[in-house]
Amino acid sequence: MKFGIDRLLEDARLRRPLAGRRVALLAHPASVTRELVHALDALAALGDVRLTAAFGPQHGLRGDKQDNMIESPDYTDPVHGIPVYSLYGKVRRPTDAMMDSYDVLLVDLQDLGCRIYTFITTLRYVLEAAAAHRKAVWVLDRPNPVGRPVEGVTLRAGWESFVGAGPLPMRHGLTLGELAKWFMRSLRLDVECEVVTMEGWKPEAGPGYGWPLGERTWINPSPNAPNLWMARCYAGTVMLEGTTLSEGRGTTRPLELFGAPDLAPRELIARMQALAPSWLRGCRLRECRFEPTFHKHAGALCAGIQIHVDDPAYAHEAFRPWRLQALAFKALRALRPDYPLWRDFPYEYEHDRLAIDLINGTERLREWVDDTEATPADLDALASPDEQAWRAERDAVLLYR
């Protein structure tokens, strides 16, 4: 199959509308061609694309920040001599001066299919800036590596943030190009926006179910997104960022496992099984021990659970990571009612709201966990209508059927 960047590089006819226009690129370390050449270098080598600027989202254009929520500076690219502007530094929205540096912005970002991934918010911000400055945006489309499944509550009005770009569920099932179309539609943006589509993407086909496993190399789109298995778990395990439990940052399997020095994983799995056995389908849970080298519980031996979605037990349609992780919280609360689960700290430029609520775009998940009378059926009753409504809404922007 071919990604958007590959089609643009191969077909001079696709590039023809760029003639005579100043071009900028928004990209990150996973923005590579089939031959693993970074998109900036590949575009510069064409000779018929006038590159005048580049932009980097969270973690940088080429990749420079290992930990989360660490800003990147602006700089001049040492190879191509063009300014590289950080959209996760002094600003998160492009400034007027940045917008003056180009006519067409090419967006080549590998997403993880989860609302909280900040590249989605950056996409919204550059589309809004392009509309205000009469610039064009071209999205060079890439796969949603976790395919089409939908899961989670819809972000509620008033809960927008840098990890909540709009009323999306946690797993939205769209590619970045389709998300651009949805932003254009939902925000009523008047801007020239083109999507250079992929060729041959089959999100329902195994074994990748969204990612062309065995056909394309996985490159970390952010430092703690090391493989497809993390991407499959991420819509659930990202909620750990709002808790005192380690999400495995500082280990080699971040966001595939979770734990703490005082956790009892065997009892936790048993309680999860008793509460909602159907929510454990599609994966395997394994009791484990790990010692983070940095971040939460650094240097301490943690007892925890690894979520395995990398063997024949994986069932794509049955696996529901958001419910699975929510169930782990619920089971922990049942076993230890006074456990200090929710972490209160500044999260993605927000200081007055709990991170777990920002992550979910509502306080309802946290309230469900803490309510001793609430059942798994109650969370289903909250999420299922949102999921059904989103499937209907997104149908208008699907590019691959």
Residue 153 DSSP class: P
Residue 375 lies in a domain: no
Kind of pairing between the strands at 136-140 and 192-196:
parallel
Same domain, residue pair 185 and 286: no
Q: What is the CATH number of the domain that holds 145?
A: 3.40.50.12170
Per-residue pLDDT tens digits for 19-58: 999 999 999 999 999 999 999 999 999 999 999 999 999 9
DSSP-derived secondary structure for 76-111? E-TTT--EEEESSSS-SS--HHHHTT-SEEEEE---
Same domain, residue pair 115 and 26: yes
The mean pLDDT of the chain is 95
Same domain, residue pair 217 and 362: no
Percent of the chain topping pLDDT 90: 92
What's the CA gap between 118 and 121, in Å, rounded? 5
Same domain, residue pair 126 and 271: no
Residue 376 lies in a domain: no
- Residue 122: which domain range? 4-222+392-397
Same domain, residue pair 238 and 194: no
End-to-end CA distance of the chain: 15
Per-residue pLDDT tens digits for 198-208: 999 999 999 99
Same domain, residue pair 310 and 283: yes
Our CA angle for 246, 118, 185, nearest 5°, is: 140
Question: pTM here?
Answer: 0.95
Residue 235 lies in a domain: yes
What's the CA gap between 120 and 97, in Å, rounded? 23
Burial 14-36 (b: 16+ CB within 10 A, else e): bbeebeeebbbbbbbbbbbbbee
Residue 380 lies in a domain: no
Kind of pairing between the strands at 284-290 and 302-308:
antiparallel
